Amino acid sequence: MQRFHVHNFGCRASQADGAALETALAAKGLEASDSTQADIVVLNTCTVTATADDDVRQKIRRVHRENPDARILVTGCYAQRAPEELVGLPGVRWVIGNSHKTQIPSLLDEPVPYHGFVQVGDIFEQHDFFSAPVEDAAGHRTRPNLKIQDGCNNRCSFCIIPFVRGRSRCAPADQVIDQIRYLATRYREVVLSGINLGRWGREPGSTVRLADLICRVLDETQIERLRLSSVEPMDWSDDLLDLVATSPRIAKHVHAPLQSGSDTVLRRMHRKYRPRHYEDRIKRARALMPNAAIGADVMVGFPGESEAEFEESRAFIESLPFTYLHVFTYSDRPGTPAAENASQIAMPVRKTRNRILRDLAAQKNLEFRRAMLGKTLSAVTLDHGALTGNYLQVELATPRPANELIEIEIGGVTPAGLREHSSLLVIQ
């Protein structure tokens, strides 16, 4: 029996693709194994930054060094973007783009005409996508992530994703319901995700929206907690925010990528909203949900970002009730308009701006955690500790099995999260 190993890089969407691939290979009768023992090693790659690309190339070299007989198949976003950078690396037998990812199980049956076989097609012709629920990226056997949308029709000037994942497309509602029905028999919480999740349902001729799908999930499944991953700011409609605020089965967690709080930088990024629009959504979320987690992705060092623009962005972020931030340093992606811009920001300046926003994020997060002292929060137990609906890690007073929905009284603040006070009550 042939043995295989799948290694995933990158975001939740990539993890979901990798899980689907593992399921498909196992269904063909291949046996999952360690990368050092596998006959076929699949590297499901990410290309979001130059560092992500470096990680993939390093991993290929390591796999080949540790297991020279393994046939390496490279797929995912890096394979789609730049197959020529991967095909000559040692041990690489196949480079298969996202355009052909769903065909990998059958491609493995076909004789490979030569070492370094490349199959990358037009991603914009892709109408389906690969997805299976995956367990928590942190390795907890809890909180599976279900990808219900792939691709993106936007053209943010820094982003390579539309070129490696194609047009926006969605999983059918009935399929989502069936998958969540099944997951609800095993888990308390399911995380809905996508490349541009808020676009779910927005296909030509369709009037259903993400909020409608969530209502169906709540009505037709027993899932105890749903969490939405990232939703673009303008897709946080009043309907969606009201639903999250009023349903006790939806985690009070709003994540809306901001990227910059500077009007002019947002324009150059080709983002579709201005700071005032973003502010309106975040303030509405906070007014409806005083204890909700509110988070954003922000980018520093976008080409041409002046000191004044950075300060405008920093002050805007400071003024909003964020509870956490994911701070990214701009990295050129060949093929994007931003990479052609001559006004690249010096790396030391990018790093300084990154640190300033990380410090601001840490301060806001600490204030939020302190505000939780004495409150009772609903949480899902993990392998270690628990995660609250409002996205805070809690150290438990006594260990509990993973996958329970519990109420926790908060007794303390730890360096990275919270500590349980004493009482513990299982909700049944």
- Residue ranges in contact with ligand SF4 by CB under 6 A: 152, 154-156, 159, 161-162, 195-196, 232
Least distance in Å: CB of 295 to ligand SF4? Answer: 15
Closer to ligand SF4 by Cβ: residue 167 or 283: 167
Quick one: 271 or 314, whose CB is closer to ligand SF4? 271
Q: Considering beta carbons, is residue 155 or 186 the nearer one to ligand SF4?
A: 155
> Closest distance between ligand SF4 and the C-beta of residue 202, in Å?
13
Shortest distance, position 320 Cβ to ligand SF4, whole Å: 20
Please state the three-class secondary structure of the chain as a single string.
CCEEEEEECCCHHHHHHHHHHHHHHHHCCCEECCCCCCCEEEEEECCCCHHHHHHHHHHHHHHHHHCCCCEEEEEEHHHHHCHHHCCCCCCEEEEECHHHHHHHHHHCCCCCCCCCEEECCCHHHCCCCCCCCECCCCCCCCCCEEEEEECCCCCCCCCCHHHHHCCCEECCHHHHHHHHHHHHCCCCEEEEEECCHHHCCCCCCCCCCHHHHHHHHHHHCCCCEEEECCCCHHHCCHHHHHHHHHCCCECCEEECCCECCCHHHHHHCCCCCCHHHHHHHHHHHHHHCCCCEEEEEEEECCCCCCHHHHHHHHHHHHHCCCCEEEEEECCCCCCCHHHHCCCCCCHHHHHHHHHHHHHHHHHHHHHHHHHCCCCEEEEEECCCCEEECCCCEEECCCCCCCCCEEEEEEEEECCCCEEEEEEEEECC
Toward ligand SF4, which CB reaches closer, 150 or 420?
150
Nearer to ligand SF4, 158 or 322 (CB): 158
* Least distance in angstroms from the C-beta of 154 to ligand SF4: 4
Query: Which of 154, 331 has the CB closer to ligand SF4?
Result: 154
> Is the Cβ of residue 19 or residue 197 nearer to ligand SF4 in the bound state?
197
Q: How far is the CB of 264 from ligand SF4 (least distance, A)?
A: 18
Q: Under a CB-based contact definition with an 8 Å cutoff, are residues 404 and 397 in contact? A: no
Is residue 198 within 8 Å of residue 244, measured between CB atoms?
A: no
Identity of the residue, 96 or 195, whose beta carbon is nearer to ligand SF4 in the bound complex: 195
Nearest distance from residue 46's CB to ligand SF4, in Å? 13
Q: From the CB of 383, what's the least distance to ligand SF4, in Å?
A: 31
Q: C-beta of 362: minimal distance to ligand SF4 in Å? A: 24
Residue number with CB closer to ligand SF4 (119 or 154): 154
Least gap, CB of 196 to ligand SF4 (angstroms)? 5
What is the rounded CA–CA span in Å between residue 73 and residue 65? 15
